[in-house]
C-alpha cells in the first residue's frame, strides 16, 4: 500500500467497486458480519500485510471519522516510525504477521498512532484464519495505556520503596508484615526474610508507658492515621527513637486492607538536640546550669513558693581573690580552681538546691524551699567553710575565700530579677564587710551599691584621663613659724567638673579594688616632679610627704618603684617622705616594717600617719622603722577640752623624742592648740591655721613669699627635734 493520499484514494475506489459485487473477504454470513461490526473490541482483518477491514470500535480508537481512510493501509502506516524496542514499525509489523501465520496466533504489545498524531499502547492479538479458503489474519486490539501507566507507577513506587532512606513496613489488616524496604533492614537490623510474616512488635522496647500502644491503635483505627515518636529495639538489642507515621489503607469496601508505616531513625538528631539544649543551658567549664537555666528555675521556683507559701533563697557568691590566682597562676589553674569550687558548692548543698555559674568567678545558689533565716545563714556558712580550704592546683595549693549575698523570697523581693540583683548587692556588702562572709540583703543597699559601681568605673577611667591632681599643705615649725616641707594630698577632678572630690570619697574604694596602686604610683611620680620643679624655680629643696595606702605599700617592688621615681626626676630619695597610717602598719606589722626599713635604707624617710588611732601600743613604736610620728587630729582637737588628751599628746611627744623621732601634730586650727602643743614640746604642726592644702600654682608664691622657708638643707629630718636652729 502506498502511503500517498492519491494511492489510498485509488485503492478505496477499487475496493468499493468490487465490494458492491461481493465483499472483500468472503461473506461469513450477516450475523457474523454484524458481530464484527458492533463488537466493542476493536478488530481488524488483515490480508497480506494490509488491513482490509475493521470495525467501528477500531475506527473510534484511532480517532478517525470512518473507516474509509483506514482500509488498505499497512499497520506501519498507523504507527510511529519505530516501536519502543527500536525496530522500525513496518518491518516489525510484517514479522509479527508472519509469526501469527506460522503459529496460528501471536500476541504482543504495539504502539499505534491516532489520527491526531498521539500514541497509545495496544495489546494486539493476531489469529490466523481461513475465510472461504482465503488466509486472513483476525486482529484484535486492547488499549493498555492505563495498564501501562499503572505499571510505570508501580515501578516508580517500587523504586521509592527500595531507595527511600525512611524505613517502610507494609502489614496486612492483622498487622502481619507483608513487606519491608532496605532502609527498614538498615535501621532495625532485621532482614526482609526475618520480618515478613511477623508482627512489628518484634521491635518493641520497654520504653513506653503501658497505655502507649493501646492509644496508638485507638487513634489509628479512629482516624486512619498515627504519627509520633516511638522507642524501638533493634535486632542487636540497642534502643533507638524513630519518628513514625502509620496510615491505614482501606479497600473499596472501606475495610482496612493494610497498614503502611514510614519511619526515620531520629536517635542522632535527638542526641544532638539534647547536646545543644545542654550547651544552651549549662556552663561549659563546670557543667553547672548557666544564667539562662538559673533564671528558668528561679521563675519556676518562685511560682511554686508562692503557691505553697514557702520561702526561697538566692545566694550570690563571688570568690574573693580569684583574679589574683588567675593572673598569677594562669588560666588553666584558674579553670581547675573554678571546677573545684563548683564541686565543693554542690557537695555542701542538698540535692534539690540549684547551683549555677553566672560567669567568671560568680556562682548562684538557689535554696528551694528555704527555711528560716537561721537555716539560710547556716547554709551560707557551710558553703563559705567548704570553699575556705586549700585547693591543690598541682603546682601550687591556693586558698580562695568567698563572699555571699543573700536575698529571700518573699521577704526582700518577689520576682527573679530583683532577687538576683539584691543578692548581688548584698554580696558587695559582704565584700565590704571583710570578705569570706555573708550578708542578707537589706533595704537601702541598692542605691549605695550602684553609686559604688559607678564610682569604681569612673575611678578606673580617671587614671587614664589624668583627672587627679595634688594639693600641698605646708608643715610649720612652731618655734619660728617657718615652713619645713609639705604634704601632698590627692584630689580628683571627676569628669572634668569644677568640683573636687576628696580622698575620703574615693581612696577606700581605690584601695578595695586595687586601683590605689596605680593611683599611688601617679602620686609619687607627680610629687617627685613637683620637687624637681620647685628646685628648678629656685625655691630650694622642699621635702614632700606622700600618703601611701597599705595595699600600695605591700604591692610588689614598692620601695624600688619609689626610688626609681626619684631618680627619674633627679632628686634625692631623702626629699620624699612616705606616710603610712598606723592602722595600715598594724595590718601586718612585720611585713610593713620590712618594707619601711628597705625604703629608709634606700634614703627615703618614713612617717607614721594618724598616730594614736591604730590601737598600737606605744611600746610598738620602738620597733617601727619610722622617722616621723604624726599625731592624729582627733587628739589635737581634744587638747583644749581635757587633761587626758593633753597627757596623751605629751607622752607621744616624749616617747618620740626619746626614740629620736620627729613629732608632727595634724589639724592645727587655732593658736590655743599651738600653745598647748608647744607646751608639750611638739615641734611641728600642720593645719588650717597655717595653710590649707593648695595647688602648686598657689603654694609656689606662698612659699616664695616666705623667704624664711626651711628647706631640706635647713633641717635634719632624722635629727632629734628635727630642726636645726
**Nearer Cβ to Mg ion (361/579):** 579
- Only segment of 22-30, 85-93, 672-680, 687-695 that touches ligand C2E (CB under 6 A): 687-695
How far apart are the C-alpha atoms of 320 and 298, rounded to whole Å? 25
Tell the smallest beta-carbon distance from residue 525 to ligand C2E (Å): 11
The backbone region for 137, taken as left when phi is positive above 0, alpha when psi lies in -120 to 50, beta otherwise, is beta
Element (H, E) at 160: helix 145-163
Counting contacts by CB under 5 A, is residue 473 touching Mg ion? no
In Å, what is the CA distance from 122 to each residue of 47, 84, 102? 20, 12, 22
User: Cis peptide leading into 410, omega within 30 of 0?
Assistant: yes
Counting contacts by CB under 6 A, is residue 490 touching ligand C2E? yes
- Candidate residues 383, 507, 517, 639; the one interacting with ligand C2E per rule CB under 6 A: 507
When CB distances are held under 5 to 8 angstroms depending on the partner's kind, the choice from Mg ion, ligand C2E, none that residue 473 binds is ligand C2E
**Nearer Cβ to ligand C2E (71/578):** 578
Tell the smallest beta-carbon distance from residue 317 to ligand C2E (Å): 30
Number of residues that bind Mg ion (CB under 5 A): 5
Counting contacts by CB under 6 A, is residue 688 touching ligand C2E? yes
Counting contacts by CB under 6 A, is residue 666 touching ligand C2E? yes
Counting contacts by CB under 6 A, is residue 526 touching ligand C2E? no
Counting contacts by CB under 6 A, is residue 547 touching ligand C2E? yes
- Candidate residues 356, 523, 606, 607; the one interacting with ligand C2E per rule CB under 6 A: 523
In Å, what is the CA distance from 641 to each residue of 447, 647, 673? 39, 12, 10
**Nearer Cβ to ligand C2E (370/553):** 553
How far apart are the C-alpha atoms of 80 and 88, rounded to whole Å? 8
Counting contacts by CB under 6 A, is residue 502 touching ligand C2E? yes
Span 4-33, contacts to Mg ion by CB under 5 A: none
The β-bridge partners of 684 are 477, 664
How far apart are the C-alpha atoms of 626 and 579, rounded to whole Å? 9
Span 191-250, contacts to Mg ion by CB under 5 A: none
Strand boundaries in 114-192, DSSP class E? 119-131, 134-143, 167-172, 177-180
β-pairing, 402-409 with 438-440? parallel
Vertex 294, ends 289 and 300: CA angle to 5°? 130
* Contact by Cβ (8 Å): 270, 242: no
- Candidate residues 57, 489, 576, 585; the one interacting with ligand C2E per rule CB under 6 A: 489
Counting contacts by CB under 6 A, is residue 405 touching ligand C2E? no
Neighbours of 340 (CB within 10 A): 18
How far apart are the C-alpha atoms of 662 and 684, rounded to whole Å? 8
Q: Using the Cα atoms of residue 464, residue 435, residue 363 and residue 302 in order, give the sign of their dihedral.
A: negative
Tell the smallest beta-carbon distance from residue 640 to ligand C2E (Å): 14
How far apart are the C-alpha atoms of 453 and 439, rounded to whole Å? 18
When CB distances are held under 5 to 8 angstroms depending on the partner's kind, the choice from Mg ion, ligand C2E, none that residue 517 binds is none
Tell the smallest beta-carbon distance from residue 524 to ligand C2E (Å): 9
- Only segment of 76-84, 126-134, 398-406, 545-553 that touches ligand C2E (CB under 6 A): 545-553
Tell the smallest beta-carbon distance from residue 322 to ligand C2E (Å): 25
Vertex 264, ends 261 and 266: CA angle to 5°? 140
- For 213, the grid coordinates are 500502644
Tell the smallest beta-carbon distance from residue 527 to ligand C2E (Å): 9
- Candidate residues 318, 609, 627, 673; the one interacting with ligand C2E per rule CB under 6 A: 609
Angle, in degrees to the nearest 10, between helices 291-308 and 416-432: 110
Length of the chain equals: 725
- For 262, the grid coordinates are 514510614
Counting contacts by CB under 6 A, is residue 503 touching ligand C2E? yes
How far apart are the C-alpha atoms of 139 and 147, rounded to whole Å? 20
Counting contacts by CB under 5 A, is residue 368 touching Mg ion? no
The pattern of x and - marking residues 659 through 678 that bind Mg ion according to CB under 5 A reads -------x------------
The pattern of x and - marking residues 569 through 608 that bind Mg ion according to CB under 5 A reads ----------x-----------------------------
**Nearer Cβ to Mg ion (340/610):** 610
Counting contacts by CB under 6 A, is residue 309 touching ligand C2E? no
Span 575-594, contacts to ligand C2E by CB under 6 A: 579
Q: Using the Cα atoms of residue 571, residue 572, residue 575 and residue 580 in order, give the sign of their dihedral.
A: positive
Number of residues that bind ligand C2E (CB under 6 A): 25
Counting contacts by CB under 5 A, is residue 166 touching Mg ion? no
Q: What secondary structure, in 3-state letters, does 253-281 show? A: CCCEEEEEEEEEECHHHHHHHHHHHHHHH
Q: Using the Cα atoms of residue 488, residue 494, residue 496 and residue 500 in order, give the sign of their dihedral.
A: negative
When CB distances are held under 5 to 8 angstroms depending on the partner's kind, the choice from ligand C2E, Mg ion, none that residue 490 binds is ligand C2E
- For 669, the grid coordinates are 586650727
Counting contacts by CB under 5 A, is residue 610 touching Mg ion? yes
Q: Where are the alpha helices (DSSP H) in 224-372?
A: 267-281, 291-308, 322-329, 331-347
- Only segment of 308-316, 455-463, 547-555, 710-718 that touches ligand C2E (CB under 6 A): 547-555
When CB distances are held under 5 to 8 angstroms depending on the partner's kind, the choice from ligand C2E, Mg ion, none that residue 242 binds is none
Span 299-328, contacts to Mg ion by CB under 5 A: none
How far apart are the C-alpha atoms of 706 and 670, rounded to whole Å? 20
Tell the smallest beta-carbon distance from residue 320 to ligand C2E (Å): 22
Counting contacts by CB under 6 A, is residue 673 touching ligand C2E? no
- Candidate residues 609, 616, 683, 687; the one interacting with Mg ion per rule CB under 5 A: 609
Span 492-551, contacts to Mg ion by CB under 5 A: 547
Tell the smallest beta-carbon distance from residue 469 to ligand C2E (Å): 11
Q: Which residues bind ligand C2E (CB under 6 A)?
A: 473, 489-490, 502-504, 507, 516, 520, 523, 547-549, 579, 609-610, 633, 666-669, 686-688, 693
Q: Which residues bind Mg ion (CB under 5 A)?
A: 547, 579, 609-610, 666
Amino acid at each position: 500500500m502506498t502511503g500517498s493520499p492519491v494511492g489510498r484514494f485509488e485503492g478505496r475506489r477499487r475496493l468499493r467497486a468490487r465490494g458492491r459485487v461481493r465483499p472483500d473477504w468472503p461473506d461469513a454470513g450477516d450475523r457474523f458480519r454484524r458481530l464484527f461490526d458492533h463488537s466493542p473490541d476493536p478488530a481488524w482483518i488483515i490480508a497480506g500485510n494490509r488491513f482490509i477491514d475493521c470495525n467501528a470500535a477500531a475506527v473510534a480508537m484511532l480517532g478517525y471519522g470512518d473507516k474509509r481512510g483506514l482500509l488498505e493501509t499497512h499497520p506501519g502506516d498507523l504507527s510511529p516510525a519505530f516501536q519502543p524496542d527500536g525496530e522500525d514499525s513496518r518491518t516489525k509489523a510484517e514479522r509479527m504477521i508472519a509469526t501469527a501465520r506460522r503459529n496460528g496466533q501471536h500476541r504482543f504489545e504495539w504502539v499505534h498512532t491516532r489520527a491526531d498524531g498521539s500514541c497509545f499502547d495496544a495489546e494486539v492479538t493476531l489469529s490466523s484464519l481461513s475465510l472461504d479458503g482465503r488466509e486472513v489474519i483476525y486482529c484484535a486490539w486492547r488499549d493498555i495505556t492505563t495498564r501501562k501507566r499503572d505499571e510505570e507507577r508501580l515501578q516508580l513506587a517500587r523504586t521509592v520503596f527500595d531507595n527511600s532512606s525512611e524505613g517502610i513496613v507494609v502489614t496486612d489488616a492483622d498487622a502481619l508484615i507483608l513487606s519491608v524496604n532496605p532502609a527498614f533492614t538498615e535501621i532495625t537490623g532485621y532482614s526482609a526474610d526475618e520480618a515478613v510474616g511477623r508482627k512489628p512488635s518484634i521491635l518493641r522496647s520497654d520504653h513506653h508507658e503501658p497505655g502507649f500502644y493501646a492509644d496508638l491503635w485507638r487513634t489509628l483505627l479512629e482516624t486512619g492515621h498515627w504519627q509520633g515518636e516511638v522507642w524501638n529495639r533493634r535486632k542487636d538489642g540497642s534502643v533507638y527513637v524513630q519518628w513514625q507515621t502509620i496510615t491505614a489503607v482501606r479497600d473499596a469496601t472501606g475495610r482496612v486492607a493494610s497498614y503502611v508505616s514510614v519511619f526515620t531513625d531520629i536517635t542522632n538528631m535527638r542526641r544532638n538536640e539534647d547536646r545543644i539544649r545542654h550547651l544552651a543551658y549549662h556552663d561549659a567549664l563546670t557543667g553547672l546550669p548557666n544564667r539562662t537555666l538559673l533564671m528558668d528555675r528561679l521563675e519556676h521556683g518562685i511560682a511554686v513558693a508562692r503557691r505553697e507559701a514557702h520561702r526561697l533563697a538566692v545566694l550570690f557568691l563571688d570568690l574573693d581573690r580569684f583574679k589574683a590566682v588567675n593572673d598569677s597562676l594562669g588560666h588553666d589553674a584558674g579553670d581547675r580552681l573554678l571546677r573545684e569550687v563548683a564541686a565543693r558548692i554542690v557537695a555542701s548543698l542538698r540535692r534539690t538546691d540549684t547551683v549555677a555559674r553566672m560567669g567568671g568567678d560568680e556562682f548562684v545558689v538557689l535554696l528551694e524551699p528555704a527555711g528560716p533565716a537561721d537555716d539560710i545563714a547556716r547554709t551560707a556558712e557551710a558553703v563559705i567553710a567548704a570553699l575556705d580550704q586549700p585547693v591543690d592546683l598541682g603546682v601550687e595549693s591556693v586558698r580562695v575565700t568567698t563572699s555571699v549575698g543573700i536575698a529571700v523570697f518573699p521577704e526582700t523581693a518577689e520576682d527573679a530579677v530583683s532577687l538576683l540583683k539584691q543578692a548581688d548587692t548584698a554580696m558587695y556588702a559582704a565584700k565590704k564587710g571583710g570578705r569570706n562572709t555573708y550578708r542578707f540583703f537589706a533595704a537601702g543597699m541598692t542605691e549605695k551599691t550602684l553609686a559604688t559601681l559607678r564610682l569604681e568605673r569612673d575611678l578606673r577611667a580617671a587614671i587614664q584621663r589624668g583627672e587627679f591632681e595634688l594639693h600641698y599643705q605646708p608643715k610649720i615649725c612652731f618655734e619660728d613659724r617657718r615652713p619645713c616641707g609639705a604634704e601632698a594630698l590627692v584630689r580628683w577632678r571627676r569628669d572634668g567638673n569644677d568640683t573636687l572630690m576628696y580622698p575620703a570619697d574615693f581612696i577606700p574604694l581605690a584601695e578595695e579594688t586595687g586601683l590605689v596602686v596605680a593611683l599611688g604610683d601617679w602620686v609619687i611620680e607627680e610629687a617627685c616632679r613637683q620637687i624637681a620643679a620647685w628646685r628648678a624655680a629656685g625655691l630650694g629643696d622642699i621635702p614632700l610627704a606622700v600618703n601611701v595606702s597599705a595595699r600600695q605599700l605591700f604591692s610588689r617592688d614598692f620601695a624600688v618603684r619609689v626610688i626609681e621615681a626619684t631618680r627619674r626626676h633627679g632628686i634625692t630619695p631623702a626629699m620624699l617622705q612616705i606616710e603610712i597610717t598606723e592602722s595600715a602598719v598594724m595590718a601586718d606589722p612585720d611585713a610593713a616594717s620590712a618594707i619601711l626599713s628597705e625604703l629608709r635604707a634606700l634614703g627615703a624617710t618614713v612617717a607614721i600617719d594618724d598616730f594614736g588611732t591604730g590601737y598600737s601600743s606605744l611600746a610598738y613604736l620602738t620597733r617601727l622603722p619610722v622617722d616621723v610620728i604624726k599625731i592624729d587630729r582627733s587628739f589635737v582637737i581634744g587638747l583644749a577640752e581635757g587633761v587626758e588628751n593633753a597627757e596623751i599628746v605629751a607622752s607621744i611627744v616624749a616617747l618620740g623624742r626619746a626614740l629620736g623621732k620627729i613629732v608632727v601634730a595634724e589639724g592645727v586650727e587655732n593658736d590655743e592648740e599651738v600653745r598647748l602643743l608647744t607646751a608639750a614640746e611638739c615641734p611641728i604642726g600642720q593645719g588650717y591655721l597655717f595653710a590649707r592644702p593648695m595647688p602648686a600654682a598657689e603654694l609656689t608664691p606662698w612659699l616664695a613669699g616666705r623667704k624664711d622657708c626651711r628647706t631640706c638643707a635647713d633641717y635634719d629630718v632624722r635629727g632629734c627635734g628635727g630642726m636645726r636652729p
